[in-house]
Structure 1
Amino acid sequence: ERPFACPQCGRCFSSRPNLIAHAKAHAGARPFACEQCGRGFSRKSHLARHQAVHTGTRPHACAQCGKRFSSKTNLARHQAVHTGHRPYICTQCGKSFSRKTHLLRH
């Protein structure tokens, strides 16, 4: 359950601290900077995830096909390929998508 909604973009969060951290990004606050490229992030965890871009580290492997990912989130998204899970359905044509962004782009 994600009862905390951002008034600016509508994104929902499971806790108030996560919503507050998200709201800081809207305000432009990015206090965590990458030492390699200078890109700023609103959360320390986002900086850590980004650093895999520079190191090439991909510690999360798909149990089905062995493909490796830099984050658990990307691995979980990939697994829809194997499960066929496509929960986002176009109300106009019925086509289904594994990601909300793909539905919105459609």
Structure 2
Amino acid sequence: MCYPKFECVNCYRRYKWKRGLIQHLRYECGKEPQFICPVRTCDYRACLKGPCPPFVCNQCGRRYSFKTSLGRHIKYECQKEPSFKCTLCEYKCKQKNAPHWCPQCPRRYKSKSGLMTHIRYECQKEPSFRCDICNYKCKQKGNLKLHMKNRHKIIGFPIFRL
């Protein structure tokens, strides 16, 4: 199966998931931004949805919420040509597809443990955890801890399932 496979008929942006295309059509395509980034010099598009991610790539300007995500971007993506091409369509990607497929959805993982974590906590499940400050929702306790630490600068708070 080739990704991304859901394409906007108005602007031709492509999405891996149908819900991504639906959100794009509902909130972005042909619409004025609902939120404005408080940083005057920032032209980062995702800042229109909330606070700017603090970690910026010096080569291309992309922003990331986590330092590890920026590091992964620099190592594997930034300024690199796509080296893997789909044999069925024109889609190209920079990393070889992971060998472990989820049987319920199109997600792939490099390790079997990553796949098992996905199946146990994420795949086709509603979020189990919610931030009481901003209503951020996630499916894993660790993600809520990271959110609280990075977004709200709070460490060591009680976490309860929804």
TM-score, scaled relative to structure 1? 0.41
Asked which structure has the greater RCO (Cα within 8 Å, sep 6+), the reply is 1
Structure number with higher helix proportion: 1
